[in-house]
Structure 1
Amino acid sequence: MPKFSVVIAVYNKEKYIGNTLQSVLEQTFTDFEIIIVNDGSTDKSETIINSFKDSRISYYSQKNAGAGAARNTAIQKATAPFIALLDADDLWDTTYLEEQNRLILKYPSQHVYACNSKVQDKNQYLNLSYSVPITEKEDLVVNFFVASTINSIINSSTTVLKKVVFETVGFYDTSINSGEDTDLFIRIGLQYAIVFSPKILVTIVRSQESLSQTTHSAKNKPTFEAYEKYEDSNKPLKKFLDLNRFSMAILAKLANEKETFMTYYNKIDPKNLNSKQRSLLKMPAEMLRKLKLIKNFLNKKGANFSAFK
């Protein structure tokens, strides 16, 4: 039995999946299997995957059912005690699994482990910041909600979980078309601490084809209703949810989804937002669209502007 099951869901990633797989096969820690589920791709993803001849790769194909469903299939087919999540367009440093194994050995009683990452947008690289102080050499054991109000301390390419975590919190919610990661991470955060290595060992490739970049409606995003009952007794959760509601409300306003906007807006405690965020919520949609264009232009020039800072 391998120590890690690397699970990858693929949908039309012919431009990326080859490099992603190569980054796994070049790991210095080699005790792993790779479970790939092709979620009904219509491009050459399957051909590229099948060009890799390695006994550690298990390949499955199913009709298109969404990223959550494909990830669930991969996790259920995994045989290792640790699940290593990886998106089909992201890249691991060669020592990624070695570092995750170090964390597991150092913190054996924990269940969720993550490494730091950077974002690649075309030829630019952006280091991520978090709502807890990060030093270069010190591991952290943190509360997910406290650590994730700027960027999520875990994501779907930087995280290793004991397989039993899914038995406790459940699998990806297949009814959510975009944002199923956040929904799963909330359930994880309610149950487990996060062990975090500050080493930047993952590159998040921001592809224009990704669902997060092409989803312009808030209607199929998470509603967070299932977690409202915990908000009064869990202030970090409440703040985390309000910041996500802020993002969903802005998305809804840009899409002229007035009813959806009000659903999110009415549940936000303004004290959990900064002054910039409160101002953005009150702006007319047309002004928001102009600001978004300016923000995208400046980001392309290397200036990082975020409403979360």
Structure 2
Amino acid sequence: MKLSVIISTYNAEEWLHKVLLGYAIQTEDNFEIIVADDGSTSKTKDVIDSLRDKFRHPIQHVWQEDKGFRKCKILNKAIVNSKTDYLLFTDGDCIPRKDFVAKHLKHREKGFFLSGGYFKLPLDISKAISDDVIQNQQCFSISWLKTNGFTPNFKSTKLVRNSFFAAFMNWLTPTKRSWNGHNSSGYKSDILAINGFNELLEYGGEDREMGERLFNNGLLSKQIRYSAICVHLDHARNYVNEEKIKYNLEVRKYNSKNKVTWIETGIQKG
């Protein structure tokens, strides 16, 4: 296998079905799927089981008990269970365009991680995306989105499928080359070298914190937000906690000031 796709999820069966279907029709099929499940009910397993036969390699379902927001912990478990040397991280609410995996493989490079983004959709259009719409890639079509009530804006340029335009926009965009949990990839060895995700952190920059430690450890980043495209499905965020976000920011400031790379609350404890 060329790559492991690690998809985080929590009790979002409708969205996960759409996302997995997006990976089932990729132009590159020699990869594994690992669903990093932060304590969902058996309904999530039912969704995974219903789509298993659409993939070249078996889907891994890595699950942990529901004890609140513990995304970093389940991602670390998924990393340990991955069978390849290159890992692509995304979320269970981001449908990939059919060339998504191929683009990450094309742009991977030793000494770098890849920094991607997403194109955010409102809830009504998120709901309107059917299996056929994903199969036909209409959810990446500006004309289809307009037909369903979306008003195009500058961010719609992400959906322009032209490699020269994408390369130019990747170079032009002022967006920081950060590790974004919905669309980033890197070598497993680089992630293990900094001990993975910090399990002390909850929602709010927890993904970027790991990326910042990768930078501290000498890695660089390449921008691919206009090349590797996924659409983000809307949903509520009941897990947002301002105190936890403030704590995460303090940890990130400390790491930046002290050039922290290894943390003791990652994959290996202590």
Q: Same fold (TM over 0.5)?
A: yes
TM-score w.r.t. length of structure 1: 0.61
For the 8 Å contact 2:178–2:211, the answer to whether it is kept is: no
Task: Between 82-91 and 168-177, report the one with greater CA deviation.
Answer: 168-177
Give the AA of the match of 2:22. Answer: S
Residue 25 to residue 147, structure 1, CA distance change in 2 (3 Å): same
For the 8 Å contact 1:117–1:128, the answer to whether it is kept is: no
1:164 equivalent to 2:194? Answer: no
Secondary structure in 1 aligned to 2:60? strand
**Bigger Rg, structure 1 or 2:** 1
Counterpart among 80, 90, 93 of residue 76 in structure 1: 80
Report the equivalent of 1:39.
38
Residue 94 to residue 69, structure 1, CA distance change in 2 (3 Å): same
CA distance in 2, matches of 1:224, 1:34: 33
Report the equivalent of 1:214.
238
TM-superposed CA distance for 1:223, in Å, is 3.5
Secondary structure in 2 aligned to 1:94? coil
Secondary structure in 1 aligned to 2:229? strand
TM-superposed CA distance for 1:62, in Å, is 2.2
TM-superposed CA distance for 1:84, in Å, is 0.7
For the 8 Å contact 2:28–2:99, the answer to whether it is kept is: yes
For the 8 Å contact 1:118–1:200, the answer to whether it is kept is: no
For the 8 Å contact 1:100–1:115, the answer to whether it is kept is: no
TM-superposed CA distance for 1:205, in Å, is 2.0
Report the equivalent of 1:28.
27
Residues 107-256 of structure 1 aligned to structure 2 (within 5 Å): 108-122=109-123, 123=125, 124=150, 127=155, 136-138=166-168, 147-148=175-176, 153-179=178-204, 180-190=206-216, 191-197=218-224, 198-199=226-227, 201-208=229-236, 213-221=237-245, 222-225=248-251, 227-228=253-254, 230-231=256-257
1:64 equivalent to 2:92? Answer: no
CA RMSD of aligned residues (A): 3.2
Q: Deviation per CA, 1:191-233, whole angstroms, max 9, x where unpaired?
A: 322112222511122311xxxx334532112043464374499
Residue 201 to residue 140, structure 1, CA distance change in 2 (3 Å): closer
Q: Deviation per CA, 1:88-110, whole angstroms, max 9, x where unpaired?
A: 11110000111112112xxx333
For the 8 Å contact 1:37–1:74, the answer to whether it is kept is: yes
TM-superposed CA distance for 1:22, in Å, is 0.8
Residue 220 to residue 47, structure 1, CA distance change in 2 (3 Å): same
TM-superposed CA distance for 1:82, in Å, is 0.6
User: Taking every aligned residue pair, what percent have the same amino acid on both sides?
Assistant: 16
Q: Deviation per CA, 1:1-25, whole angstroms, max 9, x where unpaired?
A: x111111232101121111111111
**Number of aligned residues:** 217
For the 8 Å contact 2:48–2:59, the answer to whether it is kept is: no
Residue 219 to residue 53, structure 1, CA distance change in 2 (3 Å): same
Q: Quick one: higher RCO (CA 8 Å, sep 6+), 1 or 2?
A: 2
In structure 2, list runs of 5 or more residues that go unmatched.
Answer: 126-149, 158-163, 260-270
CA distance in 2, matches of 1:30, 1:23: 12
CA distance in 1, matches of 2:211, 2:156: 18
